[in-house]
Structure 1
């Protein structure tokens, strides 16, 4: 009898905890958005304040977060964002899974339903990889040696690519949920948002590579990037840095 009461009490606590997490699940994406905004704004202000760069140059976010004290804020909040991004993706996965389970027995096209379930799980994997990229970028500074900078760049690339694919996949599955099962609202804003994010990411990648090509080996020098001279390559570099900032702000909103 005592054992049954203990099990019942344990189940009640478990249900209360689960209900509390569901009720306050909005905190996860909110914290992720706030952390992303802080990563974008605070390290830049500190970099200018301590004279690592000047007001004529708008540096890469990784360069702004490469020197103390901005580096501590950058790495700490990037790790926080990685954690909350994964939790947010898991919550979204459970929500979509619930929708699909409602129609599992009634759906006439089982292959399409299985396909959507597969995409839903793939989105979780993509966000896990994106979060892993954040952890790499947080652990290896872009302002250190060339080898460390390359590792940081790999982490940042994984983050941006996986996050973009996650946005595309989310827009697609939301469109399917609306048109096939009449669930949720028509994802027009999400589709437009994803298109804008894709264009911004393309602009950033192209100008980043062009400015690297034009600067040559000097590009790998953090001091050169933070004090970029007034040459033809500066316009491409500034286009890359501004588009990167817009891209990160879009990620914080999404």
Structure 2
């Protein structure tokens, strides 16, 4: 038995993330936990009950992201072995490692709210965004090197390259202006950051960059959908040699 249309994992992730964030944003806004204009993504999932929903969405998203990384790793492993491009094996392994790192980072972001354990929350965000950036970077590199087999044309490669550059720039803006705005903040509640709290302009640049970075990274992932569409996964087979001994000694047959 084979499973097809594995590109649906990418579509589910791309739909889950905005749906999850919009849901928690609307709940947080209705409860008066955030301001309406461009809060940080994490701010929409800081206070209960939205924090519970936020954590569940991210946990599910991390699982799907891990599945995507696993499928991609084995697909490229097959391509690399078939084309005798064994020098690319280490890049494939490294890409899978970054995929795992990013998935772990996503779960950390959902489990450790900024208002509770800020250092761990920021660590998770760094792993999530940084891991996904390097994962996409390696996948873009491998798709270029294996373009003949993967049927990746130049237009698709340049689109990925542009999205990588955009993600890198947005990541810098997000980090730099976040630090600047926090150094200027003199209000009482950073989740409800207002124009009178200091560093508000820098804060908006940072939050806007975070939202754009998130959707830019998802868009980059979606460019690999065609690769996932053409492959299949066989149903896993479970084998227990101990059962052979039981059958031979008792004559019992499983159905």
TM-score tier, shorter chain, comes to 0.7 to 0.9
In structure 2, the partner of 1:36 is 17
Q: Tell me, what secondary structure is at the counterpart of 2:39?
A: coil
> Out of 153, 172, 175, which is 2:141 matched to?
172
1:204–1:227 distance in 2 versus 1, CA, 3 Å: closer
In structure 1, the partner of 2:26 is 45
Aligned partners of 2:205, 2:90: CA distance in 1, in Å? 38
Q: Tell me, what secondary structure is at the counterpart of 1:73?
A: helix
Write out the 4+ residue segments of structure 1 that deviate beyond 4 Å after TM superposition: none
Aligned partners of 1:237, 1:227: CA distance in 2, in Å? 8
1:136–1:231 distance in 2 versus 1, CA, 3 Å: closer
Between the two proteins, the alignment pairs up a number of residues equal to 217
Aligned 1:61-210 pairs, distance under 5 A: 61-104=41-84, 113-144=85-116, 148-178=117-147, 181=148, 183-186=150-153, 187-210=157-180
Q: Deviations over 1:86-141 (max 9, x none)?
A: 1101111122112211221xxxxxxxx33311101111110101111111111111
Segments of 5+ residues of structure 1 without an aligned counterpart are 1-15, 105-112
Aligned partners of 1:224, 1:66: CA distance in 2, in Å? 11
Q: Deviations over 1:15-61 (max 9, x none)?
A: x1xx12xx142232222212211233221122221111233x42111
1:245 Cα deviation after fit? 0.7
Is contact 1:207–1:236 with CA below 8 Å preserved after alignment? yes
Is contact 1:35–1:78 with CA below 8 Å preserved after alignment? no
Q: Tell me, what secondary structure is at the counterpart of 2:114?
A: coil
Aligned partners of 1:128, 1:31: CA distance in 2, in Å? 18
1:182 Cα deviation after fit? 5.7
Segments of 5+ residues of structure 2 without an aligned counterpart are 222-255
1:230 Cα deviation after fit? 2.4
Q: Which has the higher contact order (CA 8 A, sep 6+)?
A: 2
Aligned partners of 1:189, 1:233: CA distance in 2, in Å? 34
CA RMSD of aligned residues (A): 1.8
